[in-house]
Structure 1
């Protein structure tokens, strides 16, 4: 799979704005859910459950048709070290008395990744899913026919259908706000700048600097997820700084665009079809000669 740095240009936008995206720094997420609320308010997303789920303070459990932003609460008890530098990580990691045992929260606001190679776009038969001039991926609900092909195509399990109408829904990165020069509602509402919005290339540079800063402070587990253009989806338009393995946060460790084999499959189909046509023609000519 080739590395694509300009998905909007690849789609056909000759003159377009820079690619925009999200960088979520989970080390400063305080789990306030302001992003969830702002997303619902701006996009008029219906309520999707207020019952206790048994999953700590997480009442929404995961992304879905009516949850375009999801704040995960992960409780960890583990052995921790002492860092010389007081870092903002102290907001997420709290030592407790006892033989080196520690308890910490890992909090992260998840969202659609707006993949560079988006399988949902490949499988949509109606054009309801489209690539915007900002490089993001949006569902047009008035065109979606509810076929559901995009749901298994997403390597992150982001897209979902609403039971009442069957159409697919997901984060649009507030496409209507971007067109007016505004930042998405979730980033606007985040009180700690855990969710940062801007030009994707600038966000990647900022994120790498942040990782270096954490490593220098002794936080060796800090790593980026979704920022590599050479990964299985060509890099994400929404990427994350994590403090543990991706699986801990519910992310697939090595996501791969599910339609990566489609070109080869179509070539095989064309070859097979050509071979069948040649055999049919040979049989027909043979039958004519036998008369």
Structure 2
């Protein structure tokens, strides 16, 4: 199970942020003026499990060669001067190959029966190993607490057949929840539809099971390059080289031990000769 976030119909209302905080009792944040348009939280963190980004551009929405706007509601707002806002609700990607799981020493992070990745805060010891391991910079330690917190994809809700709070609250169905195979098929159809309307920049991100993290459990339809949204263009599981590193370390250790054994053996022979 997972999320498909269609940013082309996101209106930036932040209903997802509010619903996430209310249902999961996430502490308030983003109360300071940042000067970043309407983006008061600026990014995902321990106290922001859903983050609505506002990106202002001077690029028109989906115009064809005649200059007629075919974007409609797609891509957020556009003013008379040709400026547009790209609005996108970001969240933990629930990676298929999750590096955070690989490095957690306590088992606090675990894979659920729905394929999502959840933190058990009562087991987390605050070591922070998972923070740099995440290729998306999602996981964060809470100030004054030390433990890590992130989206659980409302594990308690989906366990009883309900959709996550953010998807439930989204008024435009920008956030869609369901089986990943169905969501991927629906997303591909949506991209084809937008291309037919002249929105050639529409593309999917995180949907490919053959990418560097095995596909994301939360993927997106974007209207520009991933970097514009603050997303890495080619994310990879950061622990992919761990097996070979351990093998090299094992070989090095065995060689070192063999060398020490040879030295002691030689020393013993010399001592016996005396």
Quickly name the TM-score band, shorter chain normalised: over 0.9
Matched, 1:57 2:57: no
Report the equivalent of 1:287: 267
**1:209 counterpart SS class:** helix
The number of residue pairs the alignment matches comes to 268
Is residue 252 of structure 2 the alignment partner of residue 272 of structure 1? yes
- Stretch of structure 1 that moved more, 131-140 or 72-81: 72-81
Structure 1 residue runs without a partner (length 5+): 1-19
Identify the residue that residue 183 of structure 1 maps to in structure 2.
163
SS of residue matched to 1:78: coil
Secondary structure in structure 1 of the residue aligned to 2:131? helix
Report the RMSD for the aligned CA atoms in angstroms: 1.6
TM-score (norm 1): 0.88
> Helix, strand or coil for the counterpart of 1:224?
strand
Find out whether 1:24 has 2:5 as its counterpart.
yes
How far did 1:254 drift?
1.1
1:153-211 deviation per Cα after TM superposition (whole angstroms, max 9, x unaligned): 11111011111111100000001111111110000000000000000111111111111
Out of 125, 139, 155, the residue aligned to residue 135 of structure 2 is 155
Check conservation: 1:28, 1:88, Cα contact below 8 A: no
1:211 partnered with 2:191: yes
CA contact (8 A) 2:60 2:84 kept: no
Contact 1:160 1:170 (C-alpha < 8 Å) held by counterparts: yes
Aligned counterparts of 1:195 and 1:80: Cα–Cα separation in 2: 21
Q: How many Å apart are 1:51 and its aligned residue?
A: 2.1
Partner of 1:227: 207
- The DSSP-based 3-state class of the residue aligned with 2:58 is strand
**Distance in 2 (alpha carbons) for counterparts of 1:107 and 1:80:** 13
Q: Residue 62 of structure 2 contacts residue 70 of structure 2 at CA under 8 Å; is this kept in 1?
A: no
Secondary structure at the residue paired with 1:108?
strand
SS state at 1:138 partner: strand
For residues 174 and 252 of structure 1, what CA distance do their matches in structure 2 show? Answer: 25
1:92 match: 76
| Aligned counterpart in structure 1 of residue 56 of structure 2, from 75, 88, 92 | 75
- Range moving further from structure 2, 85-94 or 249-258: 85-94
Question: Cα distance 1:146–1:79, how it changes in 2: closer, same or farther (>3 A)?
Answer: same
Distance in 2, Cα, partners of 1:279 & 1:57: 63
C-alpha contact 2:99 2:133 (8 A) present in aligned 1: yes
**Aligned counterparts of 2:139 and 2:29: Cα–Cα separation in 1:** 15
Residues 2-36 of structure 1: CA distance to partner in whole angstroms, max 9, x if unpaired? xxxxxxxxxxxxxxxxxx00000000000000000
